[in-house]
Amino acid sequence: MKMKLKKLMLVVSTLAVSLLLVACGSSGDKKEGGSETKTIGISMPSKALERWEKDGNFMKDQFEKKDYKTDVQYAQDSVPTQVSQIENMITKNVDVLVIAPIDGEALSDVVAKAKKQDIPVLAYDRLIMHAEGVDYYATFDNFKVGVLQGQFIVDKLNLEKEAGPFNIELFGGAPDDNNAKFFFDGAMSILQPYIDDKKLVVKSGQTDFNKIAIKNWDGATAQARMDNLLSSAYTKDQVDAVLAPNDAIAVGVVSSLKGVGYGKEDRKMPIITGQDAEAASVKSIIAEEQTMTVFKNTQKLAEAAVKMVDEMVAGEKVEVNDKDTYDNGKKVVPTYLLEPVVADKDNYKEILIDSGYLKESEVKK
Ligand code: BGC
C-alpha cells in the first residue's frame, strides 16, 4: 500500500512538472542539474550594412556565453521576410524576441501574436510602433546623434565667428524608421537657428523631412538626389556642408560630389556627416572626403540588450534610463539609452581602432 502511494505521488508530481513546463510555454531543453536553456529569437533587418551583422554576431556571442541558445535571422530588408521569420520564431516558441524592425510600422500584428503566446519583446535600436507587446527598448540616444552631426557642421564652419552665408543641403533617413525623425530633429535643433539667421542657406529650399528622406537608407537613391540638387541649385555656387544622417547616405553624397569635380584643389569637399563607423566611410574620412561619422558601439548595445533580456527572463527589475521619450503610439516604451560619439580624422584611431571595433587593415586604402 505504502509503495503504491509513493508511486502514485511520483506520477502526480511528474505530471505536475510537465504541465508546468507546458504552461510556461518554454522551448528550453533540460540542462544537467535541471535548469533550462532558453532560446532567444533575434531578428535583424539585413546584412547590407556592416553594423547589423556586427549587432547580430555580438548578441549571439554574448547570449551564448551566458548559456542561452540563439536563432539569429536577417531579413534582407524585406518586410514580408522579416514578418515570416518572426512568425517562425513564435511557432518554435522562443523564450524572448529581440527585434530591429525594417519598417517600424509593419510589425504590430506579429508582435500581438507574440504577446498572445506570452513571449516578451525587446525592440533593438529601432522602435516597433503601434504595438502593445513591446516590453522594452534598447538603443542609442537618437536625438543626440543628430545633435552631434549638427554641432559638428556648426563647429567646422565656425558659424559662431564667421558671417557666412554658407550653403547646406539636408538629407534624412528612411521615413518608416522611427530613428530617422529623431536624427533629423536633433540636427535641426542645432542648425535651424543658423538657417533662420541666414548664416546657413538651403539653396534647394528642401527642408521638410518628407522631402529629404531617403527610402530604405539607400546610398544610390541619395546619390541620385544629390545629383539633382547639384544640377539644379549649384551650377554657380558651392555647397559647403551636407547633413547626411548615416554612412550609407554619405557614401552616395560623396560619389555625386566627386562626379562633378569636388575634392580637387579648387573645389574642396563640403563638410559631410555620417553615422555607423562603417569601414568604407572611415576610409573616406581618412581620405578627407566624408568628414565625420557618429560612432555607436554596437558591442555595447548588444551587451545592454543581453543584460535586459537576462533580467526579463529572471523576472528581475529591468534597468532602464529613459521612461519618457519613446512613445510608440500605444505606450511609452521603457528604454535603455547609450551615448553616441563623434569620430573624425583626428580621433578615429583612438575611438575606433584602439577600442578594437575596427582593424587598422580594414580602413587602409
Ligand atoms: C540605425 C542606423 C543605421 C540606419 C540604416 C538606423 O535605424 O540607427 O545606425 O545607419 O538605421 O540601417
- Summarised one tens digit per residue, pLDDT across range 159-203 is 999 988 999 999 999 999 999 999 999 999 999 999 999 999 999
Are residue 270 and residue 149 in the same domain, yes or no? yes
pLDDT band at 266 (very low <50, low <70, confident <90, very high): confident
Nearest CA to ligand 1 atom 10: 246
pLDDT tens digits for range 274-285: 999 999 999 999
Across the chain, mean pLDDT equals 92
| Ligand 1 mutation target, pool 54, 276, 357, most atoms within 8 A of CB | 276
Distance 13 CA to ligand 1 centre (A): 50
pLDDT tens for 95-104 read 999 999 999 9
Domain membership of residue 171 (yes or no) is yes
pLDDT at 11 over 70: no
CA of 48 to the centre of ligand 1 (A): 11
pLDDT value for 33: 45
237 CA to centre of ligand 1 in angstroms: 31
- For the cut 50, the answer to whether the pLDDT of residue 78 exceeds it is yes
Asked whether residue 361 is assigned to any structural domain, the reply reads: no
Does 170 lie in the same domain as 56? no
Question: In angstroms, rounded to a whole number, what is the distance separating the alpha carbons of residues 107 and 12?
Answer: 42
pLDDT number for residue 265 = 81
What is the Å distance from ligand 1's center to 173 Cα? 8
Q: Are residues 148 and 290 in the same domain?
A: yes
Q: What mean pLDDT do residues 227-250 have?
A: 97
Q: Which of 12-16, 68-72, 120-124 has the lowest mean pLDDT?
A: 12-16
Give, using CA atoms, the residue closest to atom 6 of ligand 1: 179
Lowest mean pLDDT among 23-32, 154-163, 310-319: 23-32
Model confidence at 311: pLDDT above 70: yes
Are 188 and 137 in the same domain? no
Alpha-carbon distance of 148 to 347, in angstroms, equals 15
Q: Which atom of ligand 1 is nearest to the CA of 296?
A: 9
With respect to residue 354, please indicate whether it lies within any of the assigned structural domains: no
Percent of the chain with pLDDT over 70: 90
Best residue for ligand 1 mutational test, from 44, 124, 177 (most atoms within 8 Å of Cβ): 177
Smallest CA-to-CA distance from 107 within 359, 304, 330 is with: 330
The residue from 279, 296, 313 where one domain ends is 296
Instruction: Identify the pLDDT of residue 316.
Output: 95
* Count of structural domains within the chain: 2
Averaged over 248-257, what is the pLDDT? 98
Centre of ligand 1 from the C-alpha of residue 49, in Å: 9
Q: What is the mean pLDDT of residues 27-42?
A: 70
Query: How far apart, in whole angstroms, are the C-alpha atoms of residue 293 and residue 262?
Result: 20
Q: Separation of 246 CA from ligand 1 center, angstroms?
A: 7
| Over residues 36-62, mean pLDDT | 95
* Whether 120 and 55 share a structural domain: yes
Q: Which ligand 1 atom is nearest residue 183's CA?
A: 8
Residue 27: pLDDT over 80:
no
SS3 annotation, 58-127: HHHHHHHHCCCEEEEEECCCCHHHHHHHHHHHHHCCCCEEEECCCCCCCCHHHHHHHHHCCCCEEEECCC
Q: Are residues 158 and 273 in the same domain?
A: yes
CA of 245, closest atom in ligand 1: 10
Helices (H) and strands (E) in the chain, counts: 12, 14
Residue nearest to atom 5 of ligand 1 (CA): 217
Confidence class for position 59, pLDDT limits 50, 70, 90: very high
- pLDDT of 7 > 70? The answer is no
Same structural domain, 164 and 281: yes
Sequence-ordered list of residues with C-beta below 8 angstroms from that of 222, at least 6 positions apart, any chain: 171, 214, 244, 248, 249, 252, 253, 256
Residue 352: per-residue pLDDT = 97
Residues 88 and 99 in one domain: yes
Residues 192 and 327 in one domain: no
- Residue 254 CA to ligand 1 centre (angstroms): 19
Site residues for ligand 1, CB cut-off 6 Å: 49, 51, 125-126, 173, 177, 179, 217, 246, 275-276
Owning domain of residue 334: 39-141+297-339
**Which grid coordinates belong to 35?**
535548469
Shortest-distance atom of ligand 1 to CA 178:
7
Residue of 44, 47, 49, 281 to test ligand 1 pocket, by largest number of atoms within 8 Å of CB: 49
Residue nearest to atom 9 of ligand 1 (CA): 276
The confidence score (pLDDT) of residue 163 equals: 87
- The answer to whether residue 191 is domain-embedded is yes
105 & 244 share domain: no
Residue 162 lies in a domain: yes
Query: Residue 163 C-alpha to ligand 1 middle, in angstroms?
Result: 34
Q: Same domain, yes or no, for 276 and 317? A: no
pTM of the model: 0.90
Examine the pLDDT at 21 and tell me if it is beyond 90.
no
Q: Is residue 100 domain-shared with residue 164, that is, in the same domain?
A: no
Q: What is the mean pLDDT of residues 77-85?
A: 97
pLDDT category at 24 given cuts 50, 70, 90 is very low
pLDDT tens digit sequence for 207-234: 999 999 999 999 999 999 999 999 999 9
**Nearest ligand 1 atom to alpha carbon 247:** 10
- Does a structural domain hold residue 19? no
Question: CA angle 304-301-118, nearest 5°?
Answer: 55
Residue whose C-alpha cell is 518608416: 176
**pLDDT above 60: residue 12:** no
